[in-house]
Each structure stands twice: as structure tokens, then as C-alpha cells.
Amino acid sequence: MKKNLFIAIEGIDGSGKSTQAKNIAKRLEAEGHKVYLTFEPTDMRIGKMIRNTFLSGKEKADEKVIAALFVADRLDHLLHETDGILKKLAEGYTVITDRYYFSSYAYHGAHIDMDWVINANKMAAETLKPDVNLFVDVSPEVAMKRINANRESIEIYETLDNLKAVQAQYLRAFEKLKNEEHIVAVNGDDSPEKVTENLWEALQKENLIQE
């Protein structure tokens, strides 16, 4: 590996990206890398508030307010004095985050102007761009089946129509930012092991890791 990387894993709910983030982390660790696996919304103060208040459906707010809270959570995620991503990278960790700003583009871009969301995230993008945004690409139908089969509580975003909308917005965001961002999409419809293999091969092909 060239340096300690910052990898963002993206996908619709139920795409299996959390499973893949863990698998890739394990694989990198097995090769001797120090890995810090993290996620958004975070389990820090603003992330907790987002989950408890808005994702739970307990309260409503204008979509721009929610998008701005995700920005604040993301900046906390980056800049936190002891647990921040910048700090972890400085300590030599490879950082894998389960969701980063493309999640904002896709989820909020389904409701409000995507350029507004991209602008709102400029501070994060200017602070730290992922070495690669890995997109776990599954059909919304497959994702919905996985969610229904495995989850006890379904969050407000988790309907088939929303999954379809978010998938379409991801593709729109990737197209919009293809010249500024490193984006790699991998088919996620296979078994977890096969998807991990596909992701690993993609990382090697992009020269991000060497064995």
C-alpha cells in the first residue's frame, strides 16, 4: 500500500456495505495494516441526535436542516480532537468509513437540489476527499429483501421507492463529480464473500493496495 488510505464505502440501505466495510477492514488488518473502521451518521453527539430525533421519525424538520446536521456530524467526524478521521490518519491508520458525503448527495439530493447539498459539504470535501469512494451496487429490490429479512426496525428512509430514488441519485452524483472524485462501483448482488473479493480486486486494480 502506498500510504495509509481513506476509503469511503457507499450504497443504498441493505446494499451490504457495512458487512463489506468490516470484511475489507479485516483483510487489511490481516495484511498488517492498522485500520480504523468508522461510520456516518456517527455515534458522537450530533450523529446520535440525528438518529434519535430524525431517522427515528420522532421529529420532522426541513430537509435542508437535516442535511446541514449531517454536515455538522461529518465535520465532527473529521475534526474531533481524539477520535477524528484526520487524527487517525495522522496516527497511521487506514480509515474506512461506512458512508461519507456521497450519502448526503444521494439521500438529500432525492428531496432537495443536489448542488445545494454539494455546496453545503464543501468544507468536508476541501478538508478530506476519500482516496476512493467504493460503491456497493445492488438493485433496490435485492436491498429491500435483505432489509425485510434482517432488520427489527425499519428506518424512515427504508421503502422500496426511496431505495430506488436514492440509487438513482447516487448515479447522478457520481456522474456530476466524476472528474473530481475517485469512484469505483462494484456489483454487490453476490454472496458477501464474493463481493469482498470483487472489492479487493478493485482496490488492487486501482493501485490502492499491493499484495
Kindly list the residues in this chain that would bind ligand ADP in the complex (CB under 6 A).
Answer: 11, 13-19, 146, 150, 191-192, 195
**Closest CB 110 distance from ligand TYD, rounded Å:** 9
Residues 41 and 47: beta-carbon distance below 8 Å: yes
Interacting residues with ligand TYD between 48 and 87 (CB under 6 A): 55, 70
Q: Of 203, 124, 161, whose CA–CA distance to 13 is shortest? A: 161
Select 36 or 120, whichever has its Cβ closest to ligand ADP: 36
Number of residues that bind ligand TYD (CB under 6 A): 13
| 107 near ligand TYD, rule: CB under 6 A | yes
Select 4 or 174, whichever has its Cβ closest to ligand ADP: 174
Q: Of 154, 149, 173, whose CA–CA distance to 57 is shortest? A: 154
Q: Of 140, 202, 198, 134, whose CA–CA distance to 168 is shortest? A: 140
Cell (9 digits) for 133: 469512494
* Residue 88's binding partner out of ligand ADP, ligand TYD, none, with CB under 5 to 8 Å set by partner kind: none
Residue nearest ligand TYD, Cβ-based: 107
109 to 128: interface string for ligand TYD, x by CB under 6 A: --------------------
**Closest CB 62 distance from ligand ADP, rounded Å:** 26
Within 10 angstroms of residue 71's Cβ, the number of other Cβ atoms is 19
Select 12 or 203, whichever has its Cβ closest to ligand TYD: 12
Candidate list 20, 94, 97, 103; residue touching ligand TYD; CB under 6 A: 103
Instruction: Please calculate the CA angle 139-119-53 and round it to the nearest 5 degrees.
Output: 65
162 to 191: interface string for ligand TYD, x by CB under 6 A: ------------------------------
* Residue 146's binding partner out of ligand ADP, ligand TYD, none, with CB under 5 to 8 Å set by partner kind: ligand ADP
Gap between the Cα atoms of 74 and 6, Å rounded: 14
